[in-house]
Amino acid sequence: MDTSHASVLWDAKSSAPFLAVPTKTDTKYSRGVLGVVTGSKLYPGAAVLNVEAAYRTGLGMVRFLGARRGGDLVLARRPETVCVPGRVQAWLVGSGMDAVTRSHTASVRLQAALQSGMPVVVDAGALDLARSSRGPVVITPHARELAMLIYSLKLAHVEAFADVDQLAASISQDPERWVEVAADEFNVTVLLKGHVTHVATPADDRGARFHARIQSPTTWLATAGTGDVLAGVLGALVATHAEQVLKDPEILGPLAATAAFLHGVAAGRAANGGPIVALDVAEALPTTIAATLVAIL
């Protein structure tokens, strides 16, 4: 694991050890169950993208416990999904939600996940709640979402910026610095999305941390819903490594970097030089994972 402040370029060789290949004795429960609380009346489709991507990354089961409309759409696309509460090894929350218009019921469901003590992937409309988690957390903001988060908490670093847009511009220009600031301030692993995605964990007592960068192989990835696909990939990786994450939350760094790597390569394979939609990226994940595993054979 990298212990310097400079970021390392994350590739297939770095990613392969963080893929969980099922063994002969595995069951759907031992492989990892991901609880998903995402989607809303405004954005029900995000839940479908999350769940499709999680299954395509490989895990035992998805329990979808978000709003009804999202649940109906998820079941129409992935009937193997279970919509009954029960044991899960990790949570994915917040995609397709809006922190401002979030319903009371949605907030109660989010808090139940965050208070479970299990590892949680926190995306989009639940980012404001990330710090209240009892378990290890990885957040997945884009530049403006991170700016909103830093601004709303009135951290010391914001004094130099007139508004959120100025801060977002600074984050886009210098993601390497801001991803580390955010990891330290929020004490969570941060995956900062962009053409180049950065992942950082909080610095330890000696100032060492994990910091990786993932270069997207295609700009066609900049299209609606691909962030929801990324959140699903990461949810699956965290669910299949939940025991390790609880022992050592630092492993959220390499897991998040691996998610971003698989996501970018899947997009490149799906695009093949032309436009793609978010579900194309999810559908390209199985062959991307097979090719990534070959990197360490």
Is 227 a known ligand-binding residue? yes
45 binds, among ligand NAX, ligand ADP, none (CB under 5 to 8 A by kind): ligand NAX
Nearer to ligand NAX (CB atom), residue 58 or residue 232: 232
Residue 149 C-beta: closest distance to ligand NAX, Å: 12
Nearer to ligand NAX (CB atom), residue 144 or residue 177: 144
| Binding-site ranges for ligand NAX (CB under 6 A) | 43, 45-46, 95-97, 124-125, 142-145, 168, 224-225, 227-228
Nearer to ligand ADP (CB atom), residue 16 or residue 49: 49
Please give the torsion angle defined by the CA atoms of residues 45, 46, 51 and 52, in that order, rounded to the nearest 10 degrees.
70
- Identify whether the C-beta of residue 255 lies closer than 8 Å to the C-beta of residue 17: no
Residue 101 C-beta: closest distance to ligand NAX, Å: 10
Is 142 a known ligand-binding residue? yes
Residue 294 C-beta: closest distance to ligand NAX, Å: 31
Q: Which residues contact 267 (CB under 8 A, 6 or more apart)?
A: 216, 217, 218, 220, 221, 226, 276, 280, 281, 284
In degrees, rounded to 5, the angle at the alpha carbon of residue 72 between the alpha carbons of residues 124 and 289 is 60
| Binding-site ranges for ligand ADP (CB under 6 A) | 142, 193-195, 197, 216, 219, 221-222, 224-228, 230, 263
168 binds, among ligand ADP, ligand NAX, none (CB under 5 to 8 A by kind): ligand NAX
Nearer to ligand NAX (CB atom), residue 163 or residue 204: 163
Residue 92 C-beta: closest distance to ligand NAX, Å: 11
Residue 104 C-beta: closest distance to ligand ADP, Å: 24
Nearer to ligand ADP (CB atom), residue 33 or residue 281: 281
Q: What are 183's two structure tokens?
A: 């990891």
253 binds, among ligand NAX, ligand ADP, none (CB under 5 to 8 A by kind): none
Is 195 a known ligand-binding residue? yes
Cα 147 to Cα 129: distance, rounded to the nearest angstrom: 15
230 binds, among ligand ADP, ligand NAX, none (CB under 5 to 8 A by kind): ligand ADP
Is 163 a known ligand-binding residue? no
Residue 223 C-beta: closest distance to ligand NAX, Å: 9
Is 70 a known ligand-binding residue? no
Is 268 a known ligand-binding residue? no
Radius of gyration of the chain (CA): 18
Binding residues for (6S)-NADPHX: 46, 96, 142, 228
Binding residues: 46, 96, 142, 193-197, 227-228
Binding residues for AMP: 193-197, 227
